[in-house]
């Protein structure tokens, strides 16, 4: 049994989801978590998650949990209609994961599955990344321990994209479903930076493994007809869009 797996086995006294109606704790994050010591080789978060943006994603997180109050919801994927970084799905996935990580006793995994973003998610962290999801899916690495990296946010682990691209065949391969199923046992929440709906057929395949799919939509950028086409395509493949988050291009 790998080190990550052992470290992340749930306590029998733990809970899966915090009460969405409960007030947010004002206790500093380092005092909330006693999950495990942060490793010396932990990735360092180099962006800010505070102020207005933290408040906005706290509202997103609360609404998601309220909508899913009667269901076990763990895997949340952020996609968008169009490929590229303009709609901000990687940023949305990161901030949603950080919002979940602020919930006491919650273990979170952030996964980068978007080959078109040129590892935008990984660039939000400083540290050495040797292997990622690509290496796991193509069989170059067989251990989740090798691709699941600790961060200096003690409740958050990251699975980087890795080197190369993730093909549609790999999104449809049983290995991906098996990996996500194992992650359900290890983490309370898995947040995925997914490919664009209209840029990669893998998005509709991935959606069938997820509990919630969300779309990042850039104001004054995303054409309405493209957004409608993306929503229609997801629906045709049995993937329901839970919500839309409006973003603004810099």
Boundaries of domain holding 184: 37-247
Three-class SS string for the chain?
Answer: CCHHHHHHCCCCCCCCCCCCCCCCCCCCHHHHCCCCCCCCCCEEECCCCCHHHHHHHHHHHHHHHHHCCCCCCCEEEEEECCCCCCCCHHHHHHHHHHHHHCCCCCCEEEEECCHHHCCCCHHHEECCCCCCHHHHHCCCCCCHHHCCEEECCCCEEEECCCCCCCCHHHHCCHHHHHHHHHHHHHCCEEEEECCCCCCCCHHHHHHCCCCEEEEEEECCCCCHHHHHHHHHHHHHCCCCEEEEEEECCC
Number of domains in the chain: 1
pTM value surpassing 0.95:
no
pLDDT at 241 over 70: yes
pLDDT at 19 over 70: no
Model confidence at 35, in pLDDT bands (50, 70, 90)? very low
Tens of pLDDT, residues 44-103: 999 989 889 999 999 999 988 887 766 778 999 999 988 877 888 999 999 999 999 999
Length of the chain: 250
Q: What percent of the chain has pLDDT over 70?
A: 82
Residue 38 is predicted with a pLDDT of: 58
Query: In 10 A of CB 191, how many CB atoms?
Result: 28
Looking at the DSSP bridge assignments, the partners of residue 44 are 126
**What is the enclosing helix (H) or strand (E) of 159?**
strand 156-159
Residue 214 lies in a domain: yes
Mean pLDDT, the chain, rounded, equals 81
Radius of gyration of the chain (CA): 17
Residue 99 lies in a domain: yes
**Mean pLDDT within 141-156:** 92
Model confidence at 106, in pLDDT bands (50, 70, 90)? very high
* CA 196/CA 70 separation, integer angstroms: 29
Q: Put the strands of the sheet holding 189-193 in their side by side order.
A: 149-150, 156-159, 108-112, 189-193, 75-80, 212-218, 241-247
* CA 219/CA 142 separation, integer angstroms: 41
Cβ–Cβ < 8 Å for 95, 103 = no
**Mean pLDDT within 134-158:** 92
Residue 24 lies in a domain: no
Tens of pLDDT, residues 161-205: 999 888 888 888 889 999 999 999 999 999 999 999 987 788 888
CATH number assigned to the domain comprising residue 90? 3.40.50.300
**Mean pLDDT within 31-55:** 73
Residue 112 is predicted with a pLDDT of: 95
**Mean pLDDT within 25-53:** 65
pLDDT at 148 over 50: yes
Residue 15 lies in a domain: no
Residue 66 lies in a domain: yes
* CA 2/CA 244 separation, integer angstroms: 37
pLDDT at 41 over 80: no
* CA 34/CA 154 separation, integer angstroms: 8
Residue 3 lies in a domain: no
Residue 93 is predicted with a pLDDT of: 95
Range name among 4-18, 83-97, 99-113, 232-246 with the lowest pLDDT average: 4-18
Residue 205 is predicted with a pLDDT of: 87
- CA 164 to chain CA centroid, Å, is 20
Cβ–Cβ < 8 Å for 94, 123 = no
Q: Tokens 């790998």 appear where?
A: 2
Q: Give which of 153, 143, 141 is closest to 109, Cα–Cα.
A: 153
Residue 17 lies in a domain: no
Residue 25 is predicted with a pLDDT of: 38
Q: Which residue has the higher pLDDT, 202 or 34?
A: 202
Residue 23 lies in a domain: no
Model confidence at 125, in pLDDT bands (50, 70, 90)? very high
């Amino acid at each position: 049994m790998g080190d990550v797996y052992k470290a992340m086995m749930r306590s029998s006294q733990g809970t899966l989801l915090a009460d969405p109606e409960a007030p947010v704790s004002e206790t500093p994050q380092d005092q909330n978590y006693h999950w495990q010591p942060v490793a010396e080789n932990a990735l360092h978060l180099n962006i800010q998650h505070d102020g207005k943006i933290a408040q906005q994603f706290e509202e997103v997180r609360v609404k998601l949990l309220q909508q899913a109050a009667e269901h076990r919801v763990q895997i949340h994927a952020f996609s968008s209609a169009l490929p590229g970084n303009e709609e901000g799905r990687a940023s949305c996935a990161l901030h949603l994961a950080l919002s979940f990580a602020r919930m006491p006793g919650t273990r979170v995994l952030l996964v980068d599955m978007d080959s078109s973003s040129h590892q935008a998610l990984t660039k939000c962290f400083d540290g050495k990344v040797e292997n990622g999801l690509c290496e796991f899916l193509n069989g170059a690495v067989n251990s989740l321990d090798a691709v699941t990296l600790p961060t200096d946010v003690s409740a958050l682990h990251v699975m980087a994209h890795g080197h190369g691209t993730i093909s549609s065949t790999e999104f449809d391969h049983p290995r991906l479903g098996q990996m996500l199923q194992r992650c359900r046992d290890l983490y309370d929440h898995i947040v995925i930076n997914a490919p664009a709906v209209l840029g990669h057929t893998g998005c509709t395949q991935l959606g069938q493994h997820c509990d919630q799919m969300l779309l990042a939509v850039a104001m004054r950028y995303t054409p309405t007809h493209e957004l409608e086409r993306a929503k229609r395509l997801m629906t045709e493949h049995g993937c329901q869009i839970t919500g839309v988050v409006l973003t603004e291009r810099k």
